[in-house]
Amino acid sequence: MTSPLDRMMDFDLTEEQRLVRRSVREFAEKEILPHVEEHERASRYPTELIRKLVPLGYFAPMVPEEYGGSFVDVMTYGLICEEIARVDWVVASVISVTNSLVVGSILKYGTPAQKDRWLRAIARGELITSACLTEPGGGTDLGNMATVARRADGGWRLTGSKVFISHAAHAGLFFVVASIDREQKHKGVTAFLVDPKATEGITIGEFPMRTLQRDNLAEVHFQDAFVPDDALLGAPGQGFPVLGSALDMGRFSVAARQIGQAQRCVDLAIPYALEREAFGQRIGEFQLIQQKITDMICRLQQARHVVYQLGRMKDAGTPRCSMEASMAKLLASQAAVANALDGIQIFGGYGLSAEYEIGRILLEAKAMEFGEGTSELHTKLIAEYALGARKQ
Ligand SMILES: Cc1cc2nc3c(=O)[nH]c(=O)nc-3n(C[C@H](O)[C@H](O)[C@H](O)COP(=O)(O)OP(=O)(O)OC[C@H]3O[C@@H](n4cnc5c(N)ncnc54)[C@H](O)[C@@H]3O)c2cc1C
């Protein structure tokens, strides 16, 4: 018989989607989870775990079959992100950056040659990708970008710095945005597909963090780096629509990952509340602990509904669902961070002991509140869409 907690995750999924969820979860718990803490302590990037995704079709679920990918519906893609993120931020981030930001942009704006070159390589698992958007001067105000692209014979020269770039030290393809005319603000923003290994003038530096020590983040400096004309993704000055569409899907997959984190907090807190005793009884019998468990389940499920609805809208072919994407990202961020905080409280002091996973999840949940738009940005966007001040 299905428990109410299992039903919460699966009740309106198709049989095939349930099967995918079960398979991804089994894989993630068996192959990834046992290594995460060790990788974090050793500052080690999980290259070998990422490789394991490829034959299972979890690495390139949004690459169409004609390019060798394992193309699935958007909802199933979200389930893959959710289940992998339930155990590991970094491996899930590889899937979501690559499929939402990079594959999505190439599919929509790439030339046939770009599709042929990059999508096939991604589908074969030959490279992972990074999205180079955020700059030292700010990540929210992307129209004010300081990295510039200057016309050169046969291509463009990029100069500027990007920070917080996930996977940059390991990536074989950078999705880069730069301005061809800073005075034009967002109308000058232009997107490029850059091969970092074949481009002179790119240096990748360490970007130390208090969390995600798994060699995940880097800063990337472009110093007059020459990229050929065929690196241009979309037309010059048309980078903002490319970004808009990439972030729309990116927000879905990040929100799905946050659902995974919020779920993991529930999964860890319940057995602990049933086991740990104080004053001669299990702590799960105290009403104040029960309140936290109820809050955790309710906020998880509330956010999950909005995220899944977004996935279904995308599967139904709704061209842009930007307000819903902001709602999903905002609610899922709130659920993941609040569930991690409540989870730690249920664990008492052990919540912050290195022995337990829940303390690590808090900073990793908080980290995801910034990627693909902060909570403040999404709060503002939702109101602007609702008030008609911003078009979808
Ligand atoms: C773990 C991690 C991984 C990341 N990975 C990547 C990556 O792979 N690629 C990449 O390009 N970036 C990445 N980022 C960067 C992330 O996208 C930025 O941190 C984010 O966009 C915010 O930019 P910022 O940190 O410069 O904050 P700022 O833009 O400086 O904002 C500072 C504060 O001001 C608020 N604020 C800004 N504008 C407004 C406004 N109009 N109204 C109200 N409040 C506002 C923000 O919400 C925030 O609270 C990552 C970040 C983290 C933490």
- Is the pLDDT reported for residue 391 higher than 90? no
Pocket test for ligand 1, best of 128, 134, 363 (most atoms within 8 A of CB): 134
17 shares its domain with 89: yes
Strands 232-233 and 148-152, bridge-based pairing: unpaired
Smallest CA separation from ligand 1 atom 41, residue: 377
Instruction: Please indicate whether residue 134, judged by its CB atom, sits closer than 6 Å to ligand 1.
Output: yes
Element (H, E) at 232: strand 232-233
Q: Of all atoms in ligand 1, which is nearest to the CA of residue 139?
A: 23
Q: Note the pLDDT tens digit of each residue in 320-365.
A: 899 999 999 999 999 999 999 999 999 999 999 999 999 999 999 9
Instruction: Please indicate whether residue 212, judged by its CB atom, sits closer than 6 Å to ligand 1.
Output: yes
- Is the pLDDT reported for residue 1 higher than 70? no
- Determine how many CB atoms are found less than 10 A away from the CB of residue 79: 28
Smallest CA separation from ligand 1 atom 21, residue: 139
Is 23 within a domain? Answer: yes
Q: Which amino acid is at 112?
A: P
Dihedral sign for Cα atoms in the order 9, 48, 371, 145:
negative
Phi-psi category of residue 171: left, alpha or beta, with phi > 0 → left and psi -120 to 50 → alpha: beta
Give the least confident one: 20-24, 61-65, 68-72, 75-79: 68-72
Query: What mean pLDDT is predicted for residues 44-57?
Result: 97
10 shares its domain with 93: yes
Q: Note the pLDDT tens digit of each residue in 73-97.
A: 999 999 999 999 999 999 999 999 9
Q: Is 211 helix (H, G, I), strand (E, B) or coil?
A: coil
296 shares its domain with 351: yes
Distance from the alpha carbon of residue 217 to the mean position of ligand 1, in angstroms: 14
Is 275 within a domain? Answer: yes
**How far is residue 36's CA from residue 91's CA, in Å, rounded to a whole number?**
10
Is 392 within a domain? Answer: no
Domain total of the chain: 3
Token reading at 155:
């291509």
Active site residues per annotation: 372
Q: List the domain range (segments joined by +) for residue 73.
A: 4-123
92, burial (CB in 10 Å: exposed 0-12, middle 13-18, buried 19+): buried
Q: Give the predicted TM-score (pTM) of the model.
A: 0.97
**How far is residue 222's CA from residue 15's CA, in Å, rounded to a whole number?**
48
286 shares its domain with 221: no
- What are 274-279's contacts with CB under 8 Å, separation 24+? 276/348
**How far is residue 304's CA from residue 113's CA, in Å, rounded to a whole number?**
38
Is 63 within a domain? Answer: yes
Strands 129-132 and 173-179, bridge-based pairing: parallel
Given this model, what pLDDT does residue 320 score? 80
- Determine how many CB atoms are found less than 10 A away from the CB of residue 181: 14
CATH number of the domain residue 249 falls in? 1.20.140.10
Query: What mean pLDDT is predicted for residues 187-200?
Result: 97
Query: What mean pLDDT is predicted for residues 117-136?
Result: 98
Smallest CA separation from ligand 1 atom 37, residue: 140
- Is the pLDDT reported for residue 163 higher than 90? yes
Q: Of all atoms in ligand 1, which is nearest to the CA of residue 89?
A: 1
Q: Of all atoms in ligand 1, which is nearest to the CA of residue 133?
A: 11
Distance from the alpha carbon of residue 254 to the mean position of ligand 1, in angstroms: 14
Instruction: Please indicate whether residue 211, judged by its CB atom, sits closer than 6 Å to ligand 1.
Output: no
Measure CA 213 to chain center.
17
CATH number of the domain residue 49 falls in? 1.10.540.10
Question: Between residues 7 and 274, which one has the greater pLDDT?
Answer: 274
Terminal Cα-to-Cα distance of the chain (whole angstroms) = 43
Strands 281-282 and 277-278, bridge-based pairing: antiparallel
Percentage of the chain beyond pLDDT 70 is 100
